[in-house]
Amino acid sequence: MDAKTKASVLHDVIRRFGTGGSDITSADWEQFVEAQNDGFQTGPEMGERVPGFSLSDQNDRRWTLNDLMGPKGLLLVFSRSADW
Amino acid sequence: MEKLRSQGVNAAAITYDSPQILHDFGEAYKIEYPLLSDVGSKVIRAFGILNTNIPEDHEMMYGMPWPGDYLIAPDGTVRDKFFLRDYQHRPSASQIVVRHFDGDGGSNTVNVTADQLSAAITLSTDRCFPGQEIAVSLGIKLKPGWHIYGKPLPDRYRATELILHGPLVEGLALEFPAPRPMLLKALGETLPVYEGEVRALGKLGIKWSPPAPVPFLEAFGKWIAPGAYKIEGELHFQPCSDSICELPQAVKFELPMQLEAGIPPAPKKTPQQ
């Protein structure tokens, strides 16, 4: 899928979601997922050090990787969005 | 998440949403772990997982990552990672515990007995979401003098097999350890056998259900109402001793499983006037 098609699919399905989504077919949905998965990357490899960061949470408290880390590790989940 | 914490593993989630949106989401779903706000997707980019298929002018989706989880060791290195390409499947936190940490494989267990063996079938949880993967473990204790079979096996004998079924069951992938070849004089052949104690580990896929009976999503999976279900199953085996072979047998069992509702987006707070 080229960049133009991907952009158009992504805009289109979200717009149709916005108006109820009843006209979205399963083929549309498959295309929507495919448009997002092209060139799928998964980031740092096993054994690789992850990038450092400092971010605020839902209560405006700041956390670095060290702050979050438990005695045996940290499960860090990257989600699409909490908003939709 | 308590299971993870009891094993010394903390949890946190990152999205590109503002702290306010994350606050509303956390309140709505009573989330106790940190929801980190990566507005502008700086950290998502630093990890190299910014979804570059989304055009910059896409208001809703630009800045989104390819979603996935990292299990990070205390020294800051990646111990494991779980990235799935569709919206439907995600490993459960309890499965991550079973895969990486010793000890408690789960408390959702059922014990079965037959004349020649006893077995425990354990699931890593008794609550799940549609599309999740749950860890399964099977532990068999054979009485002395008896053995059961592994694979590959001629048709006239029954290999040991665990079958799970029910409205929630999508599929089961269970790995047995390598069996031991044993020369069975009475039968005149060498066959792959298990004796003593055997443990098999695997994954149970829970069927995916759309969060609501929405027509276009039903093409991927029928709506399954949240609630209490049973995972039913059988352990198939053929017990043999040095001198005789019993007929293949199956012991039946069931395990409870609570299906939670798939999570829709958090309800928006009404603006204060």
Query: Which two structure tokens, joined as six digits, stand for A68?
Result: 């979050």
pLDDT (tens digit per residue) in B6-62:
788 999 999 999 999 999 988 888 888 999 999 999 999 999 999 999 988 888 889
How does pLDDT run across B165-197, given as a tens digit for each residue? 999 999 999 989 999 999 888 778 899 999 999
pLDDT at residue B265, as a whole number: 45
Contacts of B54 in chain A (CB under 8 A): 10, 36
- What residues of chain B lie within 8 A of the CB of A33, using their CB? 85-87
Q: What is the ipTM of this complex?
A: 0.88
Cβ separation of A57 and B47 shorter than 8 Å? no
Q: Which residues of chain A make contact with B69, given a CB cutoff of 8 A?
A: 75-78
What is the least distance, in Å, from the CA of A12 to any CA of chain B?
Answer: 10
CA distances from B20 to A51, A56, B24, B31, B36 (A): 25, 11, 6, 14, 11
| Per-residue pLDDT, B88 | 53
Q: Containing H/E element for B171?
A: strand B169-175
* CA torsion, ordered A64, A70, A72, A78, to nearest 10 deg: -60
Closest-CA distance of chain A to residue B170, Å: 20
Measured CA to CA in angstroms, residue A26 lies from A2, A10, A30, A33 at distances of 21, 15, 6, 11
Local confidence band at B267 (pLDDT 50, 70, 90 cut-offs): very low
Residues 2-61 of B with CB under 8 A from A: 4-5, 7-17, 19, 21-26, 31, 34-38, 42-44, 46-49, 51-55, 57-58, 60-61
A73 with B71: CB under 8 angstroms? yes
The ranges of chain A with pLDDT < 50 are: none
Mark yes or no for CB contact A72/B101 under 8 Å.
yes
Asked if B12 and A78 come within 8 Å (Cβ–Cβ), the reply is no
Domains, chain B, in order of start with CATH, read 2-83 (3.40.30.10), 108-259 (2.60.40.1250)
Tokens 């990672």 belong to residue: B81
CA distance A58 to chain B (A): 4
Which residues, including other chains, have CB under 8 Å from residue B172's CB and lie 6 or more apart? Answer: B136, B162, B163, B164, B202, B203, B204, B205
B12:A74 CB<8 A: yes
* Distance, CA of B79 to CA of B59 (rounded, Å): 34
Are β-strands B35-37 and B117-123 bridged in parallel, bridged antiparallel, or unpaired? unpaired
Q: Is there a contact between B22 and A48 if contact means CB atoms under 8 Å apart?
A: no
Provide the CB-side half-sphere exposure for B271 (13 A, CA). 1
Domain boundaries along the sequence of chain A: 3-37
* Rounded Cα–Cα distance for residues B230 and B232 (Å): 6
pLDDT digits (tens, 9 = 90+) for B54-88: 988 888 889 999 988 899 999 999 998 888 666 55
Rounded to whole angstroms, how far apart are CA atoms B199 and B141? 9
Strand partners, A8: none
- B191 in contact with chain A, both atoms CB, cutoff 8 A: no
